[in-house]
């Protein structure tokens, strides 16, 4: 509809006061929209800064619990665990990935024991456990699909058994959602949700994350044979359609801000719960500018997350989550 001509229509009338602006605001951001990605490591009393992610730390489990308590008190409904695995446990066969006593599974049990109402999401991919740094098995230089899917199913079942609420397959292997969903049903974990990294692009924005989980120095080659070409939108939508058909409950676009067009297209086409991951490179760029005095941290982090809501996302994984929740509460 075309607005009436000036001066009958003065767009600034509804911008005149804060109360008017808030009354006609089209999209809203709340702590309930957030999932907080947290890096964990073995040890005691460890809060270990990650240089390429200013303000983000690796936490030992005894430090994770109070951090989770604070996040829960701020209204953040879920945290997502990413392990920094000891180098001695990284092998070509990746068996630590489905060890019931691995770091992630111990963290799940600890969190659910202390905070049963806090949802725990996990990551399903082999890269934290792989000597080659890839999300799947590497055989004769090839990242193999079907053998990897079988391993990912074992990994997901171990996490479900530990008490995870949401499983996040981030590997981009073909067929892994269907295989995981059937295994969960067969093993009595029918209520465990799958938030699929359905449209994960072979992006240059993941560097600081790989530092955080200790995979940077181990990655041989790149991940272009299994992650989506950044130039391909139709392929991304086809991957989302496939994962929903195979049993994903929710889908994710990753990275976030460079792919807002994909977020909008996914929500409009499928009308299913749609998430984005404001990835490590996005966060690091903002924080670098903040540290140089070029940007206002609070204003830009809130604006960046509102962009996801405006693009149709139901929620966002963001390292800013605790700061955002505190700012919104304040």
CA–centroid distance for 254 within its chain: 8
pLDDT at position 3 is 84
pLDDT at position 103 is 97
In the numeric block, the tokens 């001509």 are attached to 5
Give whole-number Cα distances, 170 to 5, 195, 197, 309, in Å.
50, 9, 5, 22
pLDDT at position 330 is 80
What pLDDT digit, counting tens, does each position of 166-192 carry?
999 999 999 999 999 999 999 999 999
pLDDT at position 133 is 83
Question: How far apart are alpha carbons 236 and 302 in whole angstroms?
Answer: 27
For the 29-329 domain, the top CATH level (class) is: alpha beta
pLDDT at position 217 is 66
β-strand partners of 48: 58
Question: How far apart are alpha carbons 278 and 319 in whole angstroms?
Answer: 8
pLDDT tens for the chain, 330 residues long, are 888 999 999 999 999 999 999 999 999 999 999 999 999 999 999 999 999 999 999 999 999 999 999 999 999 999 999 999 998 999 999 999 999 999 999 999 999 999 999 999 999 999 999 988 899 999 999 999 999 999 999 999 999 999 999 999 999 999 999 999 999 999 999 999 999 999 999 999 998 988 888 776 677 778 999 999 999 999 999 999 999 999 999 999 999 999 999 999 999 999 999 999 999 999 999 999 999 999 999 999 999 999 999 999 999 999 999 999 999 998
Q: pTM of this prediction?
A: 0.95
* Catalytic (active-site) positions: 200, 254
């Amino acid at each position: 509809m075309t607005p009436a001509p000036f001066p009958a229509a003065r767009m600034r009338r509804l911008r005149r006061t804060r109360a008017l602006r808030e009354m006609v605001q089209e999209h809203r951001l709340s702590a309930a929209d957030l999932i907080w990605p947290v890096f964990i490591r073995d040890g005691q009393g460890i809060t270990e800064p990650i240089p390429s992610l200013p303000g983000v730390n690796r936490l030992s489990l005894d430090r994770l619990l109070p951090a989770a308590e604070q996040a829960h008190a701020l209204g953040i409904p879920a945290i997502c665990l990413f392990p920094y695995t000891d180098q001695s446990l990284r092998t070509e066969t990746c068996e630590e990935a489905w060890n019931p006593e691995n770091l992630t599974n111990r963290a799940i049990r600890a969190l659910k024991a202390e905070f049963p109402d806090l949802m725990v999401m996990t990551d399903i991919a082999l890269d934290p456990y792989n000597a080659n740094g890839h999300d799947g098995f590497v055989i004769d230089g090839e990242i193999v699909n079907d053998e990897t899917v079988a391993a990912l199913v074992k990994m997901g079942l171990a996490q479900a058994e530990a008490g995870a609420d949401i499983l996040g397959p981030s590997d981009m292997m073909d067929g892994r959602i269907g295989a995981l969903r059937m295994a969960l049903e067969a093993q009595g974990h029918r209520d465990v949700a799958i938030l699929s990294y359905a449209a994960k692009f072979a992006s240059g924005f993941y560097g600081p994350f790989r530092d955080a989980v200790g995979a940077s120095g181990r990655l041989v080659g790149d991940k272009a044979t299994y992650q989506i070409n950044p130039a391909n939108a139709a392929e991304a939508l086809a991957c989302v359609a496939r994962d929903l058909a195979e049993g994903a409950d929710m889908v994710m676009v990753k990275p976030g801000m460079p792919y807002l067009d994909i977020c909008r297209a996914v929500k409009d086409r499928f009308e299913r719960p749609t998430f984005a991951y404001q990835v490590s490179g996005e966060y690091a760029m903002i924080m670098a500018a903040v540290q140089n005095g070029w940007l206002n941290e609070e204003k830009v982090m809130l604006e960046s997350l509102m962009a996801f809501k405006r693009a149709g996302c139901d929620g966002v994984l963001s390292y800013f989550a605790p700061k955002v929740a505190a700012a919104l509460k304040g």
